[in-house]
Amino acid sequence: MIESYQSGVDRSMKRPLRALYIEDDPRDVRLYNHHLEQGGFDVHADTVVAVDELKAFLGSRNYDVILADHGLPNWSGIDALDMLRREGKDIPVILVSGSMLDSAGVESIKRGATDYILKDRLARLAHAVERALAERQARADRVETESARDLLASLVESSDDAIVGVSLDGAILTWNRAAARIYGYEAGEISGRPFADLFAPQWVEDIQTALLSLRTGAAVARHETLGMRKNGSTVDIAVTIAPVRQADGLLTGAAAVIRDTTDYKALREQFFLSQKMEAVGKLAAGVAHDFNNLLTVISGYSSLALGQLDETDPVYSNIREVAKAGERAAGLTRQLLAFSRKQILQPRLLSLNDVVASMDGMLRRLIPEDVVLETALDPALGMIRVDPGQMEQVIMNLAVNAKDAMPDGGKLRIATANVEEAEGLEGPAVLLTVTDTGAGMDRETQARIFEPFFTTKGQAGTGLGLSTVFGIVGQSGGAIRVESELGRGATLRIYLPRIGANDDATGANGPLAGSATGPTGSETILIFEDEEGVRSLVSRVLRGRGYHVLTAANGTEALHMCQANAAVDLVVTDAIMPPMNGARLTAQLRGLDRKIGILLISGHTDRTLRREGVLSADVAFLQKPFSPRALASKVREVLDAD
């Protein structure tokens, strides 16, 4: 049988109470309700008399308290206690009996009852319920507190940062796993030792001052410093210290959060380096176009003049020096654009072994006799897609840098290998390793070797060798890593994406064309160039090679000349000119009913040309500055290809 009771008294004045009565006497049920109402409760009660009914109600409803008759016809309140324990229910149970010996009451308490009351003393029922509810709340609060404490301890232990508890007198009290990882001490080894022991000697005084300020309740903001490990080595760290107080506000100690900033500082240094390189790169790109036009004219006319003079002529040596200066200036421009990743690349599919092997003789002539050159080339090396000329420059610069690091002789080793994974790259790679046995570098030098204009060679160095390597490798989709110690030489590792056998072998700008069949010809060539000096030079060079040359200073004139003159075989045009650039002119020429060869020339950077959309795989390109012979060879190459 199941009965329910709901108080009719104004609920807003009383505490709600959800009760379950295990009782077979309705009169006793009314007494329970009466005394609880008198005690200030708004009672919602269910009544059961059979054990099966009790199971059903416990499974479907939540109760604040259970009042159980100690002795029912077929079962007792003790049986109800056992059932609650088996079900894992934390519900206060108060046993009620008409007559119960003290020993029975004690036994019920042992079995889990909150209290027991004789039916002729129900006046204290409300008080017993109050106490039972308070004890239940206290148990819940303890569980919640312990759970929160366990969660906090778990968070502290799982943190990647060291979290250290410190007493007011500066002794270490607590120590998490991250602290053990960073410093090398286990908790038992470090407990009780001075907090200042965790810092490099030059920072101990600052830390002690910070601990003193904590006694006033002041926190210590993030401070970057050096930590001292158990093995005596140092580690870059950032530490934040905050005061710890009790609930009543009493200051009891401090909590220090210590972060290993080694990786962060390395990333920050890389970011600063990239900013410097970007700044110089923008400067280089900004002057590249005009500078390359000037160098084209200087180098071109110097070359023409040298070809017309006898070597015994007094003027010959002067012009030769001008030509050399032009070549050095062009090389400097290429280096500036290389490290800033703005130079024009002409990649092709090749084996790095072939590049190293082809340079063997030149490298052996480059290094002194007291430096031994050793190569270890993997015969199964995979293919890469790079600009062969730029890759030769990489190897040359690394070899020169290694040679300079071994003034008293040593060994230079160049090796290649396949690797399946490389930091910073996705997929398999080809590894180029250059190792020397020279003086090596400290950490500060290693952090700066790829900076433009940074050099350890004094006036003898330009500071562009390794920065050029850095730029070429980056623009080729690769990565570079350096390892070195003072007195133990240096190793530079270059990782380049390995190309599969089924991948496209042409690269972004198509395959490199074969050698020109000859530097002369008789075809008609139209030159479209707005820079008068360059236009005159190109005209003179090509006329001297036997070609019939036409010139145009703007795109409209060039297009009209091609439409009117069916004999035009090739157009040599600057890639970017207002209002019609080389790309627009190319599109117009391809609309004609005959095929005309096109050769783009430009002093602009790769980034500018691609932004303007003038570079494509099916259009020939020649970067300024160029020599007369290079121009003639490229012209012949394009004409023969058409």
The listed CATH number (2.60.40.10, 3.30.450.20, 1.10.287.130, 3.40.640.10) that belongs to domain 159-260: 3.30.450.20
For residue range 227-277, what is the model confidence (pLDDT) as tens digits?
A: 889 998 989 999 888 888 887 778 888 888 999 988 887 777 777 766 766
The listed CATH number (3.10.450.50, 3.30.365.10, 3.20.20.140, 3.40.50.2300) that belongs to domain 524-641: 3.40.50.2300
Number of Cβ within 10 Å of residue 60's Cβ equals 7
Peptide bond into 625 cis (omega under 30): yes
Which pLDDT does position 514 carry in this prediction? Answer: 32
DSSP letter for each residue of 598-611: EEEEE-S-HHHHHH
Distance CA 329, CA 298 (A): 10
Which pLDDT does position 508 carry in this prediction? Answer: 35
Distance CA 306, CA 628 (A): 12
Beta bridge partners of 390: none
Contacts of residue 154, defined as CB under 8 A and 6 or more positions apart, other chains included, come to none
Computed from CA positions of residues 430, 436, 437, 438, in that sequence, does the dihedral angle turn out positive or negative? Answer: negative
Contact 243, 250 (CB under 8 A): no
SS3 43: strand
Residue 510: which region, alpha, beta or left (left: phi > 0; alpha: psi -120 to 50)? left
Q: Specify the pTM.
A: 0.40
Sole residue written with tokens 């010959």: 316
Nearest Cα neighbor of 136 from 58, 52, 62 is 62
Give the pairing of strands 490-497 and 429-436: antiparallel
Domain 348-497 has CATH 3.40.50.2000: no
> In the β-sheet with 620-623, what is the strand arrangement from edge to edge?
548-552, 524-528, 568-574, 597-602, 620-623
Number of Cβ within 10 Å of residue 111's Cβ equals 17
Rounded to whole angstroms, what are the CA distances from 533 to 298, 300, 332, 557, 561? 9, 10, 22, 19, 21
DSSP H helices, 89-234, are 102-110, 125-158, 177-183, 187-190, 204-214
Going from N- to C-terminal start, the domains of the chain cover 2-140, 159-260, 265-336, 348-497, 524-641
Nearest Cα neighbor of 499 from 620, 374, 632, 382 is 382
Half-sphere exposure of 191 (CA within 13 A, CB side): 7
Distance CA 49, CA 43 (A): 19
| Superfamily (CATH) of domain 2-140 | Response regulator (3.40.50.2300)
Rounded to whole angstroms, what are the CA distances from 343 to 174, 284, 340, 426, 624? 57, 10, 8, 24, 11
SS3 166: strand
Report residues of the chain scoring pLDDT below 50: 1, 9, 459-461, 501-518, 608, 612-613
Distance CA 178, CA 163 (A): 7
For 577-614, give one letter per residue: b (16+ CB within 10 A) or e.
beebbbbbbbebbeeeeeebbbbbbbbbbbbbbeebeb
Distance CA 333, CA 422 (A): 31
Number of Cβ within 10 Å of residue 88's Cβ equals 6
Distance CA 469, CA 475 (A): 10
Give the pairing of strands 41-48 and 65-69: unpaired
User: Are both 2-140 and 348-497 of the same fold?
Assistant: no
Which pLDDT does position 383 carry in this prediction? Answer: 92
Which pLDDT does position 103 carry in this prediction? Answer: 62
For residue range 121-135, what is the model confidence (pLDDT) as tens digits?
A: 888 888 989 988 888
Distance CA 555, CA 569 (A): 17
Computed from CA positions of residues 201, 202, 204, 205, in that sequence, does the dihedral angle turn out positive or negative? Answer: positive
Which pLDDT does position 280 carry in this prediction? Answer: 67
